[in-house]
Structure 1
Amino acid sequence: MADERLPRDPLQREAAVRAARPEAPARTFIHLRVHSAYSLLEGALQLGAIVGHAVKDEAPAIAVTDTNNLFGALEFAQKAVKDGVQPIIGCQVDLAFSGEASDGQRDRRRHGPEMSPVVLIAASEAGYANLVRLISKVYLETPPGEPVHLTSAMLEGRSDGLICLTGGPRGPI
């Protein structure tokens, strides 16, 4: 029996069992906040170059989350799949908060809603459909003279299949 060859001492036995286990594969890192040249003034790389870097780094997947648009989503998905990388489609958009202080009182020093960027990632086909609808609403329903932004009212009923990333340099959390 294999157990007979193991040391009797519990510490040595545990060390021998661990040494006999196959090495676990290295954990992979997946970029979830990548901006392409479709994010004006924020990204410089073309989608093919982004996918090329993912292939070179042996990344199993990569997300492209351009700001306020999905212009490159189809091109990105096609290039990524062709090169064996799982495409993750998302979008960074400013989310308007109500401007209320933690005690529920409106902060009168602010003019208009406080905005912070969030990333919405499509986790399913329904999520992609909701993301497309939300980005369209952002442009159709933002009042003239205000920067393009998403409101909590726009999100109501359209969050199925979406993952929201709130962290980041200017994120709300």
Structure 2
Amino acid sequence: MRRTGTTRRGALTATGALALGAVLTGCGGDDGAADGGGSARSGGRADAVREGNSLRRKAARDGAQLLARYDLVAEAHPAAAAGLAPLRAAVAAHGKALAPPHADDAPDETPPPAPGPVSADLEAAVRELAAAERGRADAHTEALLTAEPELARLLASVAAAAAAHAYLLTELAEETAA
């Protein structure tokens, strides 16, 4: 006698069919002819691209300012330059990754202000760098709320790296104090 009702195999097949339908619907081209809302959608997409480029420019500008701070600390404290070099290189790579895809999307606003003076004490200078990295991690985490998914993943990755940098810099500051 055959069992009636929903079986596990039937439920899995139905779920798979629904998922496949959702994927195919999401992958299809949208020319806006179905409901006449194409221009509204393209306008929304253009706004999202502008917002994403704005977030990218701000993140790149903040990264450039942080790079300048790394350079100032390395210049003021040559003994720490070797320890800071890998972190500085990562910040530079993040800046390249966060830069808008097309340089001509919008003119860059004013260049970032020069970072303030560096502390003469190595421990304090490294702690200031750690605080700047924590601020960068917080800013990228906050930007996740308004970013498109692709940019949000990038920002999350850079925020995690900045948090790791802050931790490493804090450890470096403690080692220099000892």
TM-score after normalising by structure 1: 0.30
Q: Whose strand proportion is higher, 1 or 2?
A: 1
Looking at CA atoms only, which structure, 1 or 2, has the larger radius of gyration? Answer: 2
Higher relative contact order (CA 8 A, sep 6+): 2
